[in-house]
Chains A and B, each alone.
Chain A
Amino acid sequence: MTDQSNMMALPHLQHKPSKLRLARVLGFALLLWLAIVAVGGPDLIGQDPAKQSLLSTLERPSLAHPLGTDHLGRDMVARLLSGAQLSLSLAFLSVITAGLPGTIIGITAAWFGGWIDRILGAFADAVLALPGLLLVLMLAAMSPGSWWALYAGISLTLWVEYFRYTRQRARIVLAEPSVEASRLLGLGPWLLVRRHLIPEIGPGLLTIAAFGAATAVTSVAALGFVSVGIRPPTAEWGVMMTELLPYWREAPFLILQPVGCLVITVLALHLSVGGMRRP
Chain B
Amino acid sequence: MIYSIEVKDLSVFAGSTHLMGPVSFKVKPGGTLVIMGETGAGKSLIAQAILGTLPGVLRAEGEITVNGRRVDQLYQIDRAALWGREIATLPQEPWRALDPLMRSFKQVKEAHRYVADRQAIEADLATTEAFEALGLSGAEQRLPGALSGGMAQRVAFAAATAANAPILLADEPTKGLDSARHAKVVGLLAQVPQAGGTLLAITHEASVARHLGGTLIVMRDGTLVEQGATDAVLKTPSDPFTRDLLNADPQNWPKTQSHTTAETVLTVRDLAVERGKKCLFEGFNLDVHAGEKIALTGPSGIGKTTLLDAIAGLLKPASGTVTRGQSLPRHGVQKLYQDPPAAFPSRVPLVHTLRDVARRHKTDWSRVMQFLEQLGIHPSLLERLPDEVSGGELQRISIARALTVGPKVLLADEPTSRLDPITQRETLLMLDRIAEDEKIAIILVTHDQSIAQKWADREISLV
Binding site for B on A (CB under 8 A): 3, 5-10, 13-14, 176-178, 180-182, 184-188, 191, 195-196, 199-200
The answer on a CB contact under 8 Å between B339 and A177 is yes
A-contact bits for B317-351, CB 8 A (1 contact / 0 none): 00000000000001101110101001111111000
Provide the residues of chain B in CB contact with A7, threshold 8 Å.
59-61
B72 interfacial by beta-carbon distance below 8 Å: yes
Least Cβ distance of B397 to chain A in Å? 12
B438 within 8 A of A: no
The chain A residue with its CB closest to the CB of B360 is A186
Residues of B within 8 A of A195 (CB): 345, 348, 352-353, 356
In the complex, how many residues of chain B place their beta carbon closer than 8 angstroms to a beta carbon of chain A? 39
Contact for A5 among B73, B333, B335, B348, CB less than 8 A: B73
Q: How far is the CB of A18 from chain B (nearest CB, A)?
A: 13
Residues in A whose Cβ lies below 8 Å from that of B60: 7-8
- The chain A residue sitting closest to B404, CB to CB, is A185
Query: Within 8 Å of chain A (Cβ to Cβ): is B214?
Result: no
List, in ascending order, chain A residues with CB within 8 A of B72's CB. Answer: 6, 8
A8-B49, A9-B59 are known; give 6 further A-B pairs, CB within 8 A. A14-B56, A177-B343, A185-B334, A186-B361, A187-B356, A187-B357
In the complex, chain A residues whose CB is within 8 Å of the CB of B331? 184-186
Residue B62 CB within 8 A of the other chain:
yes
**Residue from the set B56, B57, B342 with the largest chain A CB neighbour count within 10 Å:** B56
Once the chains bind, are A186 and B61 in contact (CB under 8 Å)?
Answer: no
Q: What are 15 sample pairs from A and B whose C-beta atoms fall under 8 A apart?
A: A6-B62, A7-B61, A8-B60, A8-B72, A10-B56, A13-B56, A178-B345, A181-B343, A184-B331, A184-B335, A185-B357, A185-B402, A188-B360, A196-B345, A199-B345
Contact B76 A10 (CB under 8 A): yes
Given contact pairs A178-B343, A191-B356, A195-B356, A6 touches B73 in the complex (Cβ within 8 A): yes
Contacts of B375 in A (CB 8 A): none
Majority SS of interface residues in chain A? helix
CB distance from B79 to the nearest CB of A (A): 9
Closest B residue to A182 using CB positions: B345
The smallest beta-carbon distance between A162 and chain B, in angstroms, is 20
> B168 at interface (Cβ–Cβ under 8 A)?
no
Ranked nearest first, the 4 interchain pairs of A and B with the lowest CB-CB distance are A13-B56, A199-B347, A186-B331, A195-B345
Residue of A nearest to B59 (CB): A9
Q: Tell me if B29 counts as interface (CB < 8 A to partner A).
A: no
Q: Please determine whether B57 and A178 come into contact, CB atoms closer than 8 angstroms.
A: no
* Residue contact A187 to B360, C-beta cutoff 8 Å: yes
The answer to whether B61 touches A6 (Cβ under 8 A) is yes
A residues near B402, Cβ cutoff 8 Å: 185
* B343 contacts across to A, CB distance below 8 A: 177-178, 181
Q: Which of B67-85 contact A (CB under 8 A)?
A: 72-73, 76
Residue of A nearest to B314 (CB): A180
Closest A residue to B61 using CB positions: A6
In the bound assembly, the distance between CA atoms of A181 and B398 in angstroms comes to 10
| Inter-chain contacts of A3 with B (CB < 8 A) | 61
Name the A residues within 8 Å of B54 (CB-CB): 8
Closest Cβ of chain A: how far from B448's Cβ, in Å? Answer: 22
Residues in B neighbouring A196, C-beta threshold 8 A: 345
Q: CA of A14 to CA of B58 in the docked complex: distance in angstroms?
A: 10
Is B193 at the interface (CB under 8 A from chain A)?
A: no
Residues in B whose Cβ lies below 8 Å from that of A191: 356, 360
Chain A residues with CB under 8 A of B62: 6
Instruction: Report whether B59 and A199 are in contact in the complex, using a CB–CB cutoff of 8 Å.
Output: no
Other-chain contact of B401, A5, A10, A14, A185 (Cβ < 8 Å):
A185
Answer whether residue B459 sits at the interface, using C-beta atoms and an 8 A cutoff. Answer: no
Q: How far is the CB of A266 from chain B (nearest CB, A)?
A: 30
The answer for the CA separation of A5 and B356 in the assembled complex, in Å, is: 51
Q: Across the two chains, which residue of chain B brings its CB closest to A191?
A: B356
| Min distance, Cβ B404 to any Cβ of chain A, angstroms | 8
B98 close to A (CB within 8 Å): no
Contacts of A185 in B (CB 8 A): 331, 334, 357, 360, 401-402, 405
B63 at the interface (CB under 8 A from A): yes
Which residues of chain A come closer than 8 Å to B312, judged between CB atoms? 184
Name B123-169 residues within 8 Å CB distance of A. Answer: none
Q: How far is the CB of B350 from chain A (nearest CB, A)?
A: 11
Residue B52 at the chain A interface, CB threshold 8 Å = yes
- A3→B145 CA distance, assembly (Å): 47
In the bound complex, residues from chain B placing their C-beta under 8 Å from that of A188 are 360
The answer for the CA separation of A72 and B405 in the assembled complex, in Å, is: 74
Assembly CA distance A9 to B73 (angstroms): 10
B344: chain A residues within 8 A (beta carbon): 178, 181
Residue of A nearest to B60 (CB): A8
Give complex CA distance A186, B337 in Å.
Answer: 17
Cross-chain contact B314 with A184 (CB below 8 angstroms): yes
Task: Determine if B353 and A8 form an interchain contact, defined as CB atoms under 8 angstroms apart.
Answer: no
Q: Which residues, 352 to 404 on B, are CB-close (under 8 Å) to A? A: 352-353, 356-357, 360-361, 398, 401-402
Other-chain contact of B348, A8, A13, A184, A199 (Cβ < 8 Å) = A199
Q: What B residues does A176 contact at CB under 8 A? A: 342
Closest Cβ–Cβ distance, residue B386 to chain A (whole Å): 9
A200 and B361 CA atoms in complex are apart in Å by 26
Query: Quick check: A177 and B52 within 8 Å, CB to CB?
Result: no
Closest residue of chain B to A16, judged by CB? B56
Most chain B Cβ neighbours within 10 Å, of A10, A14, A185, A191: A185
Across the interface, do B56 and A186 meet the contact criterion of CB distance under 8 Å? no
Q: Which residues of the partner chain B approach A6 to less than 8 Å between Cβ atoms? A: 61-63, 72-73
Report B-chain residues with C-beta under 8 Å of the C-beta of A200: 346-347
CB distance from A4 to the nearest CB of B (A): 10
What is the CA–CA distance of A13 and B356 in the complex, to the nearest angstrom? 37
- In angstroms, how far is the closest chain A Cβ from the Cβ of B6? 15
- The CA of A79 and the CA of B436, in the complex, are separated in Å by 78
* Interfacial chain B residues near A9, Cβ < 8 Å: 59
Residues of A within 8 A of B357 (CB): 185-187
Chain A residues, Cβ within 8 Å of B401: 185
Q: Are B56 and A178 in contact (CB under 8 A)?
A: no
Q: Which residues of A contact B56 (CB under 8 A)?
A: 10, 13-14
For the complex formed, measure the closest distance between the CB of B93 and the CB atoms of chain A, giving whole angstroms: 15
Most buried by B among A10, A178, A182: A178
Contacts of A182 in B (CB 8 A): 345
Nearest CB on B from A9, distance (A)? 5
Q: Contact flags (1/0) for B31-73 with A, using CB distance below 8 Å?
A: 0000000000000000001001010110111110000000011
- Give A188 to B360 CA distance when docked, in angstroms: 9
Nearest residue, chain B, Cβ from A278: B347
